[in-house]
Homo-oligomer: A and B are copies of this chain.
Amino acid sequence: MAPEEPGSTAPAPAGPSPAGPSPAGATPPTLLDLSTYLLSRTGKAARSRLAERLARRGLRLWDMAVLAALADFGPHAQRDLVRRLGVDASDMAKVADQLALAGYVERARDAADRRRLSVTVTGAGRALLAELRAEALAVQDEVLAPLSGAERRVLHELLARVHAELPGTP
């Protein structure tokens, strides 16, 4: 079970870039060549850092998403938040409940359809969202540190286009 493949030469890395820190060993080039891999890694770094900052406030990423949706598009019925954000209805109920308890949103039964709960962001919610946005920008600055302003704009534009076409996102 060892058909030695002579041709499967590893793309031996000439050498770890002098500037590149590699105290623990370099990442395999086979992986680094994959945009998939880089996207996954950098995305995970961004997410986990932001999540960690939110966690310090007892919040999760969904909380921020809900506040953003309410601030950007105005009051939603809970079911519309579910549709817009693509989250499970049951999970949305929990998020909304927590946000309402903390005073960041208000919930009221829709008079027209008493099954529906209309969710509205409060002043406190808007203020919080502004802070969370600042946190996100701080993370962004941290993660994108090696890029110039112009490069960051290019990256953002490319990612926006990729994101726009992702199934499940629209």
Contacts and interface: CB of A to CB of B under 8 A. Distances in A.
Interface string A114-153: 0000000011101101100100110110011111000110
B42 A44 contact: no
Interface in A42-80: 42-47, 50, 64-65, 68-69, 71-74, 80
Given A6-B168, A26-B84, A34-B140, 11 more contacts: A16-B167, A17-B164, A24-B86, A25-B83, A28-B71, A30-B71, A35-B46, A36-B140, A36-B143, A38-B160, A39-B42
Interface of A: 1-6, 8, 10-13, 16-17, 20-32, 34-47, 50, 64-65, 68-69, 71-74, 80, 83-86, 103, 106, 122-124, 126-127, 129-130, 133, 136-137, 139-140, 143-147, 151-152, 154-156, 158-170
